[in-house]
Amino acid sequence: MISCESTLDKSKTTSQNLSFKIDHNLLSKTPLKNNEEFSIYLPINWSPFDSNNFIQLQRAIEINENVIQLELVGGYQSKDLATCIISKVKTNEDNYIPENYIEILKSQFSTENINVSQIDINNTPVRQFIISNKSHTVIKLFISGVQNYQVDYIIPRGVYEAELGKVESSIGTITNKGENL
């Protein structure tokens, strides 16, 4: 069997069962909950956006031109500008992520370096996109359930190593009790 690998397309799609090392010392003491369905523990010392930044982010996220229609739940940021954005997906359709989403992300982030995985977090199916460019690593999670959610971690390259343990711990705490089982 002969296999060819494209050097132009560094995107990868894999299906895997990941376990996250959760260090509760790196997380907030109480979880963010939304309608008792969805919860997540945020990284410690990441503060909620102030009202002005929240409104600006809300306008950017909720405009109709976005590929995936979202409703902002919360935005949080570290002193080093690592960011977590939590949104509800406005549709309950199963296939709300467009087929050409990887191409859209490549264009949006000016990179070919995108890894895609289908993972389970606390028995909840999650589609994960990890996007790396010169300035940031973005971890985009689409969490399935009766109400679907999107969680984005946007981490500047300069603080990636310092924030990674907090981010991994936070991801490992995601639950969506309204999930389809």
Q: Which residue has the higher pLDDT, 62 or 178?
A: 62
Confidence of residue 19 (pLDDT cuts 50, 70, 90): low
Catalogue the long-range contacts made by 102-109 (C-beta closer than 8 Å, 24 or more residues apart): 102/11, 102/129, 104/67, 105/129, 105/131, 105/140, 106/11, 109/133, 109/136, 109/138
Contacts for 89 with CB less than 8 Å, ≥ 6 apart: 68, 69, 70, 96, 142, 147, 148, 149, 150
Q: What would the pLDDT profile of 122-143 be if each residue is shown by its tens digit?
A: 888 999 999 999 999 999 999 9
- Which run of H or E residues covers position 114? strand 114-121
The whole-number pLDDT of residue 66 equals: 80
The pLDDT confidence band at residue 20, using thresholds 50, 70 and 90, is confident
Q: How many CB atoms lie within 10 A of CB 127?
A: 18
Greater confidence, 145 or 128? 128
Of 10-14, 51-55, 76-80, 171-175, give the lowest mean pLDDT range: 10-14
Amino acid at 124: T
Enumerate domains of the chain plus CATH numbers.
Answer: 12-176 (3.40.1000.10)
Sheet of 12-15, strands arranged across:
12-15, 114-121, 124-132, 136-143, 149-156, 83-89, 70-77, 47-48
What's residue 35's pLDDT?
A: 72
Question: DSSP code of 27?
Answer: B
> Of residues 11 and 92, which shows the higher confidence score?
92
Output the average pLDDT for the chain.
Answer: 86
Q: What is the pLDDT of residue 78?
A: 96
Residue 46: closest CA among 20, 5, 23, 74 = 74
C-alpha 169/C-alpha 159 separation (Å) is 16
- Strand-pairing partners, residue 138, are 131, 154
CA distance 88 to 91: 9
Taking residue 33's Cβ as centre, other Cβ atoms within 10 Å add up to 12
